[in-house]
Amino acid sequence: MSDDATSAQTAPAAGPAAPADKPRRKRGNPPPDTRPEIYVSTDIEADGPIPGPHSMLSFASAAYLADKTLVGTFEANLETLPGAEGHPIQMQWWAQQPEAWAACRHNLEAPEAALPRYVEWVESLPGKPVFVAFPAGFDFTFMFWYMMRFAGRSPFGWAALDIKTLAFALTGLPYRRNVKAAFPAQWHDPLPHTHIALDDAKEQGALFCNMLAELRRRETEQAAIQPAQD
């Protein structure tokens, strides 16, 4: 008996057609992240204008959902950087803030311990983290430098959301006039601004959520008007 005959005799009967393969994602493309954004309002206190020559003394984050639900907080007081020193102008300002100075100079942690712990905390939040600050240019400069230097990565990528810029879009005021005192009263919650990092992170986080609600309200109103105009 030939090999061909053997093969014919032993081949299984044809079964139902196999279902078509599901479309496969290309390697390297993760599935889309459908989690909600979490707005990580962050405040830092420093002894100078830039990191490296000067030190970040303390930092804190308050993580909010868009509806102003506070998801969690993080805070740390840091040891100063080796070889760094306080800027004279900044140290004069600190001399006028004894309570805030005392608050950021106790229970000190080494940056190489605090920053990896912080990055892991951000990455554990139940949503896509967005760095939020007022002004973001100052706080994010320090936080990004410290995260990259001591944790090796930034869970926020390269981007930060600036509350002052959002206010510029909402108020119609010139950019430099967008200070908190010029904002509508309904944007402010009765929270203290003390120059203690966690207090300020909570205060500006609630402010941001109120501004975001205002933005969404305007979008809804505009969407309702648009069909009538069309």
Is it the case that residue 9 has pLDDT exceeding 50?
A: no
- Look at residue 20 and tell me if it is in a domain: no
Q: Could you tell me the CATH number of the domain that includes residue 219?
A: 3.30.420.10
- Look at residue 100 and tell me if it is in a domain: yes
- Look at residue 206 and tell me if it is in a domain: yes
- Look at residue 59 and tell me if it is in a domain: yes
pLDDT at 230: 56
Q: What is the mean pLDDT of residues 7-20?
A: 44
- Look at residue 14 and tell me if it is in a domain: no
Q: What is the mean pLDDT of the chain?
A: 90
What sign for the dihedral angle of Cα 175, 180, 182, 188? positive
List the 70-78 sheet strands across, edge first. 108-109, 70-78, 56-64, 37-46, 128-133, 161-162
pLDDT tens profile 125-150 = 999 999 999 999 999 999 999 999 99
Q: How far apart are CA 42 and CA 44, in angstroms?
A: 7
**Strand 56-64 to 128-133 pairing:** unpaired
pLDDT at 8: 36
Per the structure, how many domains does the chain have? 1
Is it the case that residue 7 has pLDDT exceeding 50?
A: no
Q: Which residue spans within the chain are E strands per DSSP?
A: 37-46, 56-64, 70-78, 108-109, 128-133, 161-162
- Look at residue 10 and tell me if it is in a domain: no
Higher pLDDT among residues 33 and 40, named by residue: 40
Is it the case that residue 15 has pLDDT exceeding 60?
A: no
Confidence of residue 30 (pLDDT cuts 50, 70, 90): confident
- Look at residue 8 and tell me if it is in a domain: no
Domain that holds residue 128: 37-225
- Look at residue 186 and tell me if it is in a domain: yes
Q: What is the mean pLDDT of residues 115-123?
A: 99
Is it the case that residue 54 has pLDDT exceeding 50?
A: yes
